Amino acid sequence: MEFLFLIATIGLILGLKFMGDPARAVLGNAVAALSVVVALIGVTIKSYDPAAGAGTFNIVLVVCLLAAGGLIGRVMAMRVPMTGMPQLVAMLNGFGGLAAVVIALIEGIAHPIGDDMRTTGGLLLLSAVFGGVAFTGSLVAHSKLEGKKLPKARPVHIQAARALLWSMVALFAVYMLAPTPIMPFTTLLVIIAVLSLIYGALFTLPIGGADMPVLICFLVALHGLVALLAGMFFHDTVMLIGGVLVGATGSLLTVAMSKAMNRTLRSVLAGVIKRDTGTSDREQDIRPISAPETASLLAFSKQVAIVPGYGMAVSQAQGVCQEMQVMLERMGATVHYIIHPVAGRMPGHMNVLLAEANVDYDKIIAMEDVNDVMDRYDAVLVIGANDVVNPAAETDPNSSIYGMPIIRAYAAKQVIVLKRGMATGYSGEMNLLFDRANCRLLFGDARSSLRAIIDELKRI
């Protein structure tokens, strides 16, 4: 069995490596999926141990559970749209955390932990803590991503979360260091599990929408840590390997997203209550533009940049956008896609959308590689993006996104923003780009607007 687990481990590492390269991402996904299948086969075979009372029934049970899980996963993968993928990731993290809490409680209650088993007890306590935080934190993150109404975050939530955190740290330290137990282990386990569930919701609630990609990455890392602890407790190679890989990749993503937001992880997780600066009620000087005018502007532009955002995912406009790109290139224009690291609602969201539309990888440019030369573009087409092009991040210290690196679309000769209406971005901040003299707004569904632009380009 160890050989199968070794093959699965190598396959998962190679799959993750391939996923880092857009050209081999599909292959990486397939290799990783096949490696998981190999690992599950090993688990199924290992579950057969008649001498320990785990006979044929165990094999049938494991196979049925794997089949049920595979079927549910297949249905969810087919039904959940790309716009719902961040919510799905958050929910899957939550279920993993809930499983850790349930397992910890079952093991702690069914198999009494003696005073001489503090290391084992400590693993169960940590599993309950991280699992509980991952579960309720993911539920709150899911609700935020779905746009559901939640209680308004207040300073008392942050203070309560910190009090719960230090309470759990104190209880864990006393359990590990005290000469004699202060209470039965089962009671301590239940108390810490309940505290972690409450803490997960309270610490997630104040985290703003603009920081949601960082939070999701952090929850992924937490999920991996839970699997790692479970692997250590059960001496399970697969869980141990999976926990290490998921925890490591989640941690790296968290650091990368924090850097992209120009935030420290501590400041994100501490939560910042947005202050009302009064700008949300200010009227803006909006200059609308029509599809024919947009087509004329693009037709006479030699350098065109496209900045995709979550709105493009909502309208499923990536295919039409690629069609427009090809048409502009035939007319002699150079077209680039500029992607912000946190565009969309999870890392890589826009990259996946463009890959679905068969956009060439060499057309995609990172924000940091183009920001200093944005003035070379005759036109920048912002499709459904908002916060990632908002100059308030550079000019308004009172803004909740202040300090976040943005794509400096405002520096281009002309900016056209495709929007359904005047709703704010996910951060809730007014976009000061719309006040700029070189910015005009094309209102309507992004897919329909792009189709209208293409029809007009055909007439030119």
Active site residues: 387
Q: Are 179 and 356 in contact (CB under 8 A)?
A: no
The dihedral through the CA atoms of 92, 97, 102, 106 has a sign that is positive
Query: Which phi and psi (to 5°) does residue 440 adopt?
Result: -135, 150
Q: Are 135 and 94 in contact (CB under 8 A)?
A: yes
Return the structure tokens found at 150: 């939640």
Residue 53 Ramachandran class (φ > 0 left, ψ -120 to 50 alpha, else beta): left
Say how far apart CA 197 and CA 211 lie, in whole Å.
21
Rounded to the nearest angstrom, the gap between the alpha carbon of residue 125 and the centroid of all alpha carbons in its chain is: 27
CA-CA distances (angstroms) from residue 152 to 68, 140, 146? 38, 12, 16
Nearest to 124 by CA among 137, 138, 113, 135: 113
Q: Are 341 and 309 in contact (CB under 8 A)?
A: no
Task: Outline where 48-117 has alpha helix (H).
Answer: 56-79, 85-110
Rounded to the nearest angstrom, the gap between the alpha carbon of residue 102 and the centroid of all alpha carbons in its chain is: 25
Distance between start and end Cα atoms, the chain? 66
CA-CA distances (angstroms) from residue 177 to 114, 118, 188, 194? 15, 9, 14, 22
Helices (H) and strands (E) in the chain, counts: 17, 6
- Report the SS3 class of residue 139: helix
Nearest to 20 by CA among 212, 253, 265: 253
**How many residues comprise the chain?**
460
Return the structure tokens found at 379: 């036109």
CA-CA distances (angstroms) from residue 108 to 40, 124, 184, 189, 199? 26, 7, 11, 7, 21
Say how far apart CA 379 and CA 414 lie, in whole Å.
5
- Report the SS3 class of residue 365: strand
